[in-house]
A = this chain, B = another copy of it.
């Protein structure tokens, strides 16, 4: 579905233009065309391919979707794949979408899939600041990327918050089953976000500093800024990952410690009752000559004796921490 198709000159909007005229505008000097598609079908991509003269392999990737994030050079143009990552209320898994951006010297074609995130805000901001837009297509690429990457932060924060919630329960008895499940699910979500962040970070890292595509020569500082954001998210994710794996170990230790305490208690009570029962067993024997059985106060004495011994044992176990 076509969302926008606009021509700009020196940073200012000329007009909305029909897709079929794109190739004409591209030939005009100082003119710049910015097209946005959403869940495009094969015919739309085919038309765009013709108008912009896009590389076959890049169009194939955009048509198929489910690419990993990457930035590829085709001659003097770039093809960028970026993943959007969204939290969906009430769902455990993160929602992953995709934005494909074709960037040439005087055009930008973005195509997004499976995502509710729109980029109208990006275009509006860019149109409000013609001096920035006048920097050309690489700046638009930066602006789109920045919009996507900025939306990674709340996701990462959410994951961090989830980890903190789990951590606050990790030393709680009886919460281990829930903890381990949440840790496992959290790890899966961290991996999902990582898969969006890491390859993009690596790719953006090649847009500044060393040998840089000609397109991006004026915008190196901006891409370094995005790279820096991605490194921050990556660091956060690595910390979460590292902490999850420690937390899983700790959780196992807590299970073992809890169990060992239950075992001790079990052992203590078993001992107490075993003693009690042993006494009762003795006085339940049928020997003829058991003088204490004949005593008037034999029974209360016996019970008292059993209770005293058991209380004594109870106290000793209590002291040694078994009960």
Residues in A lying within 8 Å of B, measured CB to CB? 55, 57, 67-68, 70, 72, 74, 170-171, 174, 176-177, 180-181, 183-184, 187-188, 191, 195, 199, 221-222, 224-225, 228, 231-232, 235, 239, 242-243, 245-260, 262-267, 269-271, 273-278, 280-290, 292-299, 302-303, 306, 321
Known: A177-B257, A259-B256, A266-B267. A280 touches B284 (CB 8 A): yes
Q: CA–CA, A273 to B257, complex, Å?
A: 26
Q: CA–CA, A187 to B243, complex, Å?
A: 9
Shortest distance from the beta carbon of A62 to any chain B beta carbon, whole Å? 13
Do residues B243 and A191 form an inter-chain contact, with CB atoms below 8 A? yes
Q: CA–CA, A248 to B297, complex, Å?
A: 58
Closest to A281 in B: B280
What residues of B have a CB within 8 angstroms of the CB of A280 in the complex?
278, 281-282, 284-285
Q: CA–CA, A306 to B282, complex, Å?
A: 10
What residues of B have a CB within 8 angstroms of the CB of A302 in the complex?
285, 287
What residues of B have a CB within 8 angstroms of the CB of A68 in the complex?
228, 231-232, 235
Shortest distance from the beta carbon of A289 to any chain B beta carbon, whole Å? 5
* 16 CB-based A-B contacts, threshold 8 Å: A67-B232, A68-B231, A72-B224, A170-B184, A174-B321, A252-B256, A270-B270, A273-B277, A274-B274, A274-B277, A280-B284, A280-B285, A284-B286, A286-B290, A287-B302, A288-B298
What residues of B have a CB within 8 angstroms of the CB of A306 in the complex?
282
Q: CA–CA, A49 to B92, complex, Å?
A: 44
Secondary structure dominating the interface of A: helix
Do residues A191 and B299 form an inter-chain contact, with CB atoms below 8 A? no
Which of B199, B246, B275, B299 has a CB less than 8 Å from the CB of A289?
B299
Q: CA–CA, A294 to B299, complex, Å?
A: 14
Do residues B267 and A265 form an inter-chain contact, with CB atoms below 8 A? yes
What residues of B have a CB within 8 angstroms of the CB of A297 in the complex?
289
Which of B225, B263, B269 has a CB less than 8 Å from the CB of A263?
B263
Closest to A180 in B: B253
Known: A174-B321, A263-B262. A70 touches B228 (CB 8 A): yes
Do residues B170 and A257 form an inter-chain contact, with CB atoms below 8 A? no
Do residues A260 and B259 form an inter-chain contact, with CB atoms below 8 A? yes
Closest to A176 in B: B257
Do residues B287 and A278 form an inter-chain contact, with CB atoms below 8 A? no
What residues of B have a CB within 8 angstroms of the CB of A259 in the complex?
256, 259-260, 263
Shortest distance from the beta carbon of A101 to any chain B beta carbon, whole Å? 16
Do residues A274 and B271 form an inter-chain contact, with CB atoms below 8 A? no
Which of B176, B228, B232 has a CB less than 8 Å from the CB of A253?
B176
Shortest distance from the beta carbon of A201 to any chain B beta carbon, whole Å? 13
Q: CA–CA, A79 to B257, complex, Å?
A: 50
Do residues A299 and B270 form an inter-chain contact, with CB atoms below 8 A? no
What residues of B have a CB within 8 angstroms of the CB of A222 in the complex?
57
